[in-house]
Structure 1
Amino acid sequence: MQRWVNQIRNFFERHGFYVSSRFADKLGMRAKNVRLFFIYLSFATFGIGFAVYLTFAFLLRFKDMIYSKRTSVFDL
């Protein structure tokens, strides 16, 4: 089992880092900077998605507070 996991990890390390290296060569940059850019970009996009989620949750809660559902006509 451990051997199989190491083979998968080695495959992704070999081919995954090659993408960053090749992209960096095309742009004339260092591969380390390209990898850092993608790491920071992934954190930024996660943060934006989480902020949108919290905003929608707040708006839905606020809407429920304003427009409360009445159970019958006599609750007025």
Structure 2
Amino acid sequence: MQKIREFLELRAFGVCTAIGDRLGIASSRIRMWFIYISFLTMGSPVVIYMILAFWINMKNYILAGRRNPLRHL
């Protein structure tokens, strides 16, 4: 159970952390609001979460390629 929790904290919550860093809000507060809104709207924010996770992952992938000038040598 501990390994699952660590995986989720490191991987799945990257969206909440990125939003929190950008807005200057604690990521734990964003996670709680996401949970509340998910319960109230029967889980529809999960789709938005997945889209944001994909977007952040692609952005990091693209930027990682640009930051390494030795990669193209």
TM-score of the pair, normalised by structure 1: 0.44
**TM-score, with length taken from structure 2:** 0.46
Of structures 1 and 2, the larger Rg is shown by: 1
Name which structure has the greater RCO, CA cutoff 8 Å, separation 6+. 2
